[in-house]
Structure 1
Amino acid sequence: MRHTPPRAVEVHKALLAHFGPVDWRPSLPPVDELVSTILSQSTTDGNRDRAFERLKARFGSWEVVRDGEVAAIEEAIRVAGLARQKAPRIKAALQFITDRRGALTLDFLRRMPVEEARAWLMQMKGVGIKTASIILLFSLGMPAFPVDTHVHRTARRLGLIPPNTNAEKAHYLLEAALPPETYLDAHLNLIRLGREICRARKPDCPRCPLRAMCVYAREQGSGGARE
């Protein structure tokens, strides 16, 4: 029988009560999500989206991107930053999929257990556990819990994971701490909490709907001290 720690569920319910259910639907096919997530590294959502649209407009298909020149890919995605790192990663990832599957598709991952599908994705250079989990959850609708910097910070402050837990281990701990059907709402609401209230610097603890159950707020006297 699955044991669900009540604290994590309590946090999830409190965030739902405060922010409401997330209005979100899968919008990108898995390969698109892969490219978009690589582009998202160390940039804003807006710059990621602009780079993604420019890449698609310039090349037309992922097959053309795969077979294209790295320099041309770099130019198309420059707005997202780190183009010299991201362009060869995108090209290599698309080639990796083609070499192993004979076509540019990741739909076959739906038939795998989550851990097997995540491990398959993580064979690609530049695809870590967060990127793999994003693809599985958001594009394929599989029960994976991505941990970005906001989720990592808020989960540690709330005491959902030990203070020294690294981001990779946090994925597995949070997956064990919540029912799979809550992953999408919990993930997005923790991100919203981290962006709007539980900021890295000067968190607004007095305004936080979780302050009564937050380890960090209790230690700081709910004063929102700089971390």
Structure 2
Amino acid sequence: MFNTDTTIVAGPESEPLDGLIETILSQQSPIVPTQRMADALRQAFPNWNQALLAGPDVIQVVLAGARGNLTKAKAGYIHRVLGRLLAERGDLSLNFLRTYSAADARQWLLTLPGVGPKTASCVLLFNLQLPAMPVDTHVLRIALRLRLVAENTKPSDVETWFEQQLPQQWESHYEFHLNAIVHGQTTCKAQHPKCADCVLNDCCPSSNLSG
């Protein structure tokens, strides 16, 4: 599961489809309602085949009952993803992507309903153990304050920049992402950053933001 405020990596024995669906649920949603929706889905549908058979309207009722947001859109995405998998793969699983390269897995994920660059990157990094750099608010803020990228750079281009700088191993991407999240939450905050305590104080062009 991935949410912009937490970073959880799934083991190789886990089902990547679970991670994709939880990532769809986390879109524009804080962690608490995201977890409520995920828990409600698991309780209502012990397996994804039951969710597929139930249909998008029933899925939406479950998500709305968990006080989720954007429930109609998310229910539609989930149902269409499940339908696509069954029709094309004959199996409600994304484990086949473990044999793909990061680039090929990303390309395939981006063809799914409701999956954009950030969602694809989250699934790659946290569920498939493939190198990717999801650009959330913390990663973007740090990149902008360090002036690694221009002010109006799109998140997808920020990710490309990091991809070009980091070693092409999953561990490097995961550790950097985790450290960036923690740094953004504790030091390089959106409001009242603790510049005096920052280990990058002497090289950061924005090191005077805290006054």
TM-score, length of structure 1 as denominator length = 0.81
Aligned residues: 199
Which residue is equivalent to 2:63? 77
Contact 2:125 2:131 in 1 (8 A): yes
Which residue is equivalent to 1:168? 156
Which residue is equivalent to 1:45? 31
Identity among equivalent positions (%) equals 36
Distance in 2 (CA, whole Å) between partners of 1:224 and 1:46 is: 30
Which residue is equivalent to 2:172? 182
- CA offset at residue 131 of structure 1? 0.7
Query: Any idea what the Cα deviations from partners look like across 1:80-100, whole Å, max 9, x if unmatched?
Result: 311121111111111122222
Local SS of the residue matching 1:216: coil
The structure whose RCO (Cα within 8 Å, separation 6+) is larger is 1
Question: Structure 1, unaligned stretches of length 5 or more?
Answer: 1-22
Query: Any idea what the Cα deviations from partners look like across 1:50-85, whole Å, max 9, x if unmatched?
Result: 210110101111111122132221122233311121
Does 2:110 match 1:122?
yes
Structure 2 residue aligned with 1:153, among 141, 157, 164? Answer: 141
Question: Structure 2, unaligned stretches of length 5 or more?
Answer: 1-6
Query: Any idea what the Cα deviations from partners look like across 1:157-206, whole Å, max 9, x if unmatched?
Result: 12333332210111111111111331101111111222222222332322
Higher deviation after alignment, 67-76 or 131-140 = 67-76
For residues 7-22 of structure 1, the aligned pairs below 5 Å read none
Contact 1:118 1:136 in 2 (8 A): yes
Structure 2 residue aligned with 1:193, among 183, 189, 192? Answer: 183
Contact 1:40 1:80 in 2 (8 A): no
Distance in 2 (CA, whole Å) between partners of 1:208 and 1:148 is: 20
- CA offset at residue 110 of structure 1? 1.6
Distance in 1 (CA, whole Å) between partners of 2:193 and 2:52 is: 43
- CA offset at residue 25 of structure 1? 4.6
Local SS of the residue matching 1:176: helix
Distance in 2 (CA, whole Å) between partners of 1:210 and 1:95 is: 48
- CA offset at residue 215 of structure 1? 2.2
Structure 2 residue aligned with 1:214, among 188, 201, 204? Answer: 204
Of Structure 1 and Structure 2, the greater helix share is in 1
Higher deviation after alignment, 78-87 or 31-40 = 78-87
Higher deviation after alignment, 202-211 or 87-96 = 202-211
Shift of the 161–137 alpha-carbon distance from structure 1 to 2, 3 Å rule, reads same
Structure 1 residue aligned with 2:10, among 17, 26, 32? Answer: 26
Which residue is equivalent to 2:101? 113
Distance in 2 (CA, whole Å) between partners of 1:212 and 1:201 is: 20
TM-score, length of structure 2 as denominator length = 0.86
Runs of 4+ in 1 over 3 A off after TM superposition: none
Which residue is equivalent to 1:19? none
